[in-house]
Amino acid sequence: MDVENVLNMNAGEGETSYANNSIHQRQAITKVRAIMEDAVKNAVSMTTFPTCIQVADLGCSSGPNTFLVISEIVDTVHGIYQQTNNKSPELQVFLNDLPGNDFNTVFKSLPAFYKKLKEEKGDFGPCFVSGLAGSFYGRLFPSQSLHFVHSSNSLHWLSQVPNGLSNNKANVFIAKSSPPSVFKAYKEQFRRDFSKFLRSRAVEIMPGGHMLLTFLGRSALDPTTNDCCKMAELLSKSLLDLVAQGIVKEGDVDSFNLPLYRPFKGEVREIIDNEGSFNIEKLETFEVDWDNSDTSEDDQYCVSGQNVAKWIRAGTEPMLATHFGAGTAMDSLFARFAQHVAEHLCIEKTADFYIVLSMTKK
Ligand SMILES: C[S@@+](CC[C@H](N)C(=O)[O-])C[C@H]1O[C@@H](n2cnc3c(N)ncnc32)[C@H](O)[C@@H]1O
């Protein structure tokens, strides 16, 4: 799988778009608001209140979430410059994602964003927002050019499907039935990717600059806990239903594996310590329920199943459609998936487990 070319969220602003189905991810951004505020304050004060602050949101996708992040950064910067009687700085914001990302939808939202900023913050800035296409597993910016780097809901995506997964048949990720070599291959790919990410940012962030990263992880060392592999297990099950119906080929399920990893907190700390360029200020975890819609009716689990299927579809459809076929295959897949999620949630409430990391460049 050519991950850089197929790992996109659903484009546009339609019913199945990421822009319209990213409330789940938005909750993760909201939960780390206080940590982000501290990180931004530290970044500007430790780099002695620059007159132009350079920030980046890595893995911005399209839709309102990246604008929520920029607004929170603007609020914090505005507040701290006012409190310390410093002249309002200029802000340069780089929105980064892979080249196939729907940057057009992002750019179309810019006039409304600038207008709101002017209404709310008056003469703040100006704020210059631009798009930057490329993989965050390599260099994206000039040396020592950034004060603050943010990334949410993105770093669990790997740069490639790990090699050596040919014996992970009928599973699209680590599963209880996967041989140990599968877990080892995923863990090693994450170690390589996350190390590359840190090495690149270590060059680009100036000393005293900060980085706030929020991404999916798992609650235990054991990679087969529900918060790590249940979602993918339900996706595998749904694909096998489609094999039974003759919509999808068995061999296509056997050869598909998600380019995704949910690390344990200790693994993340070890990789950062080994790379050596960053001090960890905070390394915390939190949970976001798969669905927390408040339906008290009999069909509660059906509604939850459909809700979860919508945000999973928005985040995986381009990649799945490239491998299994678009149209009917995707409609059938996510209808089955919604049912399996509903049945699972009926037995057990399940949450995504998140890791949030705040770090300073040494
Ligand atoms: C789930 S979206 C998160 C969007 C937004 N940050 C949020 O929190 O809602 C993940 C994004 O990460 C991007 N991404 C994944 N791997 C990437 C890479 N190597 N370089 C840049 N972006 C990447 C994907 O294309 C996708 O748009």
pLDDT for 302: 83
Q: Which of 4-8, 67-71, 327-331, 342-346 has the highest mean pLDDT?
A: 67-71
Nearest-CA residue for atom 18 of ligand 1: 135
Q: Is any atom of ligand 1 closer than 6 Å to the C-beta of 288? A: no
Domain ranges in the chain are 3-223+257-290+351-361
- Choosing from 98, 190, 213, 288 the residue with most ligand 1 atoms within 8 A of its CB, the one to mutate for a pocket test is 98
pLDDT for 178: 92
Global pTM reads 0.94
pLDDT for 47: 81
- Atom number of ligand 1 nearest to Cα 28: 8
pLDDT for 296: 61
Task: Kindly tell me if the per-residue pLDDT of 299 is higher than 90.
Answer: no
Nearest-CA residue for atom 20 of ligand 1: 135
The answer to whether the bond into 89 is cis (omega within 30° of 0) is no
- Choosing from 1, 58, 61 the residue with most ligand 1 atoms within 8 A of its CB, the one to mutate for a pocket test is 61
Q: Is any atom of ligand 1 closer than 6 Å to the C-beta of 153? A: yes
Task: Kindly tell me if the per-residue pLDDT of 294 is higher than 70.
Answer: no
Kindly report the CATH number that applies to the domain delimited by 3-223+257-290+351-361.
Answer: 3.40.50.150
- The answer to whether 310 and 342 have CB atoms below 8 angstroms apart is no
- The answer to whether 350 and 219 have CB atoms below 8 angstroms apart is no
Segment 51-70 shows an average pLDDT of 96
Q: How far is the CA of 83 from the centre of ligand 1 (A)?
A: 34
- Atom number of ligand 1 nearest to Cα 3: 16
Q: What's the gap between Cα 348 and its chain centre?
A: 25
- Choosing from 29, 157, 313 the residue with most ligand 1 atoms within 8 A of its CB, the one to mutate for a pocket test is 157
Task: Kindly tell me if the per-residue pLDDT of 347 is higher than 80.
Answer: yes
Q: How far is the CA of 59 from the centre of ligand 1 (A)?
A: 3
Q: CB under 8 Å to 147, separation ≥6 — which residues? A: 43, 44, 47, 50, 53, 54, 55, 205, 206, 209, 210
Task: Kindly tell me if the per-residue pLDDT of 348 is higher than 90.
Answer: no
Q: Among 237-241, 274-278, 344-348, which is the least confidently predicted range?
A: 344-348
User: Which residue, chain included where needed, has tokens 């057009």?
Assistant: 104
Nearest-CA residue for atom 3 of ligand 1: 153
Which H or E run includes 194? helix 180-204
pLDDT for 48: 84
Q: CB under 8 Å to 291, separation ≥6 — which residues? A: 24, 304, 307, 308, 345
pLDDT in tens, 72-129: 999 999 889 888 888 889 999 999 999 999 999 999 999 999 998 888 887 777 899 9
pLDDT for 346: 85
Distances in Å between the Cα of 54 and the Cα atoms of 101, 150, 154 are: 22, 11, 20
Q: Is any atom of ligand 1 closer than 6 Å to the C-beta of 154? A: yes
In DSSP terms, 146 is beta-bridged to: 205
Which H or E run includes 265? helix 265-275
Segment 316-344 shows an average pLDDT of 91
Q: Is any atom of ligand 1 closer than 6 Å to the C-beta of 318? A: no
Task: Kindly tell me if the per-residue pLDDT of 295 is higher than 80.
Answer: no
Q: How far apart are CA 285 and CA 262, in angstroms?
A: 12
Q: Is any atom of ligand 1 closer than 6 Å to the C-beta of 98? A: yes
pLDDT for 122: 79
Is residue 300 very low, low, confident or very high in pLDDT (cuts 50, 70, 90)? confident
Task: Kindly tell me if the per-residue pLDDT of 170 is higher than 70.
Answer: yes
Q: Is any atom of ligand 1 closer than 6 Å to the C-beta of 59? A: yes
Q: Is any atom of ligand 1 closer than 6 Å to the C-beta of 61? A: yes
Task: Kindly tell me if the per-residue pLDDT of 298 is higher than 70.
Answer: no
pLDDT in tens, 187-221: 999 999 999 999 999 999 999 999 999 999 999 99
Is residue 173 very low, low, confident or very high in pLDDT (cuts 50, 70, 90)? very high
